[in-house]
Structure 1
Amino acid sequence: MTLNRILVPVKRVIDYAVKVRVTGGKIDTNVKHSMNPFDEIAVEEAVRLKEKKAAKEVIALSIGGAKSTETLRTALAMGADRAVHVDVPEGTEVLPLQVAKLIKAVADKEKPELVILGKQAIDDDSSQTGQMLAGLLGWSQGTFANKLEVAGDKLTVTREVDGGLETISTRFPAIVTTDLRLNEPRYATLPNIMKAKKKKMEVFKPQDLGVDITASIETINIAEPPKRSGGKKVESVDELIDKLKNEAKVL
Structure 2
Amino acid sequence: MATPLRIIVPVKRVIDYAVKPRLNSAKTAVETAGVKMSMNPFDELSIEESLRLRAKLGQSTVPDILAVSLGSAKSADTLRTAMAMGADRALLIEEDSEIEPLVVAKALGKVVEKENCNLVIVGKQSIDDDAGQTGQMLAGILGWPQAIQASKVEVLDGGWVQVVKEVDGGTETVKAKLPMVITTDLRLNEPRYASLTNIMKAKRKPIEKKKLSDFGLSAIKRLETLKLAEPKPRQGGGKVDSVDGLLSRLKELGAI
Question: TM-score, normalized by length of structure 1?
Answer: 0.92
Single out whichever of 48-57 and 27-36 deviates more from structure 2.
Answer: 48-57
- Corresponding position of 1:28: 31
- Structure 1 regions of 5+ residues with no counterpart? none
Amino acid at match of 1:130: G
Q: Cα–Cα, structure 1 residues 108 and 222, in superposed 2: closer, same or farther, change >3 Å?
A: same
- Corresponding position of 2:222: 216
1:220-235 alignment, distance < 5 Å: 220-235=226-241
Question: Does the Cα contact within 8 Å between 2:5 and 2:119 map onto a contact in 1?
Answer: no
Amino acid at match of 1:35: M
Instruction: Say if 2:192 is the partner of 1:186.
Output: yes
Instruction: Say if 2:161 is the partner of 1:155.
Output: yes
Instruction: Work out the number of aligned pairs and report it.
Output: 248
In 2, distance between residues paired with 1:219 and 1:3?
A: 43
Question: Does the Cα contact within 8 Å between 1:81 and 1:199 map onto a contact in 2?
Answer: no
Deviation at 1:207, TM superposition (A): 1.1
Deviation at 1:244, TM superposition (A): 4.2
- Corresponding position of 1:199: 205
- Corresponding position of 1:113: 118
Residue 171 of structure 1: which of 160, 174, 177 is its match? Answer: 177
- Corresponding position of 1:5: 6
Deviation at 1:212, TM superposition (A): 2.4
In 2, distance between residues paired with 1:231 and 1:84?
A: 50
Instruction: Say if 2:91 is the partner of 1:84.
Output: yes
Q: Cα–Cα, structure 1 residues 192 and 2, in superposed 2: closer, same or farther, change >3 Å?
A: farther
Residue 48 of structure 1: which of 46, 52, 62 is its match? Answer: 52
In 2, distance between residues paired with 1:135 and 1:23?
A: 35
- Structure 2 regions of 5+ residues with no counterpart? none
In 2, distance between residues paired with 1:192 and 1:169?
A: 35
Normalized per residue, the structure richer in strand is 1
Question: Does the Cα contact within 8 Å between 2:90 and 2:208 map onto a contact in 1?
Answer: yes
Question: TM-score, normalized by length of structure 2?
Answer: 0.90
Amino acid at match of 1:27: V
Secondary structure in structure 1 of the residue aligned to 2:164: strand
In 2, distance between residues paired with 1:64 and 1:195?
A: 23
State the 4+ residue runs in structure 1 displaced beyond 6 angstroms: none
- Percent same amino acid at aligned positions? 53
Instruction: Say if 2:131 is the partner of 1:126.
Output: yes
- Corresponding position of 2:104: 99
Aligned CA RMSD, in angstroms, stands at: 1.7
In 1, distance between residues paired with 2:131 and 2:251?
A: 36
